[in-house]
Amino acid sequence: MGKTIIIGAGGQIGTELTLALRNQYTKDQIIAADIKDNAPELIQDGPYIQLDILNREAVRSYIIDNQIETVYLLAALLSATAEKNPDFAWKLNMEGLFTILDLAKEGHVKKIFWPSSIAVFGPTTPADNTPQHTVMEPSTVYGISKQAGERWCEYYYNKFGVDVRSIRYPGLISYKSPPGGGTTDYAVDIFYKAKATGKFTCFLSKDTALPMMFMDDAIRATIQLMDAPADRLRIRSAYNLGGISFTPEEIASSIKKHLPAFEITYEPDFRQAIADSWPNSIDDSYAQQDWDWKLGFDMERMTREMLENIH
């Protein structure tokens, strides 16, 4: 395997993806890149470069000069942050993607991973067991950018043969690196507050069901999709990935089994409208059929893992 770069390696997914890829290949092959001055501590044992994905020429030179074959492009503004700065969110989420797609079109890059999200769906989408192909009318700037990104990925695959692969991640839950400004962040924060204070005020209402997934499963899915033979992949926009579906009340009950004194209260804010526009649960049968996807962590196993590892 040639060299791989992870752009946005300093974030919630990037940190754990860098760790996992460095375990699978040799450390020197996996280059972490981010706009931050320094790599997070967890990934300081391998190559790191400070890179702004919006600096098209710098990104092009680095990738061409270093003969990078695979790019994981993770840099983006997430749903809640994007609503506060829609112009910049659109710029960041789209321009970086075109820079990488064009490098692949010109033959410099062989394979791309670019993540999409359940945010591509909107209020008119069937909310339960949302199918792969369905109505998609996202109502957030983040969702619009992800849906447009998916369309461009499929276009570059069909027109220019670019090997780009993508997953519509649900909300991701992890303890190694904090989340970066999404609507599903409450499902991480709740564990930290439960351990620290025994109390949590949730910014979503108690019965808001959303699809979520433990990070280990998301990383495994990502690597599995990237390793899958190209001729098995029917989807070149982005694959649905289901995970576990739960409400704040349900995750609080799961935590209470371990910490009986834990208390949750609810103060919904602007993120409630975003969550209300997203599906409750996702059908990921295409991922199961095309690259043998199987979920590993249910709610009980994820709760135990989070509570044991947060100190």
Binding site for ligand AKB (CB under 6 A): 78-79, 117-119, 142, 171, 182-184
Q: Give which of ligand AKB, ligand NAD, none residue 36 binds (C-beta under 5 to 8 Å, depending on kind).
A: ligand NAD
The residue number whose beta carbon is nearest to ligand NAD equals 11
Q: Would you call 186 a catalytic residue per the annotation?
A: no
Question: Which string of DSSP letters, residue by residue, matches 193-250?
Answer: HHHHTSEEEESS-TT--EEEEEHHHHHHHHHHHHHS-GGG---SS-EE---EEE-HHH
Binding to ligand NAD by residue 76, rule CB under 6 A? yes
| Residue 7 Cα distances to 13, 158, 261, 280, angstroms | 11, 24, 41, 30
The residue from 48, 72, 142, 286 that is catalytic is 142
Q: Give which of ligand NAD, ligand AKB, none residue 46 binds (C-beta under 5 to 8 Å, depending on kind).
A: none
End-to-end CA distance of the chain: 37
Using an 8 Å Cβ cutoff, are 109 and 71 in contact?
yes
- Least Å distance, CB 263 to ligand NAD, is 25
- Segment contacting ligand NAD (CB under 6 A): 71-79, 155-163, 200-208, 258-266? 71-79
Binding to ligand NAD by residue 52, rule CB under 6 A? yes
- Least Å distance, CB 198 to ligand NAD, is 25
The span from the CA of 211 to the CA of 246, in Å, is 7
The span from the CA of 205 to the CA of 214, in Å, is 21
Binding to ligand NAD by residue 172, rule CB under 6 A? yes
Using an 8 Å Cβ cutoff, are 110 and 163 in contact?
yes
- Least Å distance, CB 79 to ligand NAD, is 8
Q: Which residues bind ligand NAD (CB under 6 A)?
A: 7-8, 10-14, 34-36, 51-54, 74-76, 78, 92, 115, 117, 169, 171-172, 179-180, 182, 184
The residues assigned a catalytic role are 142
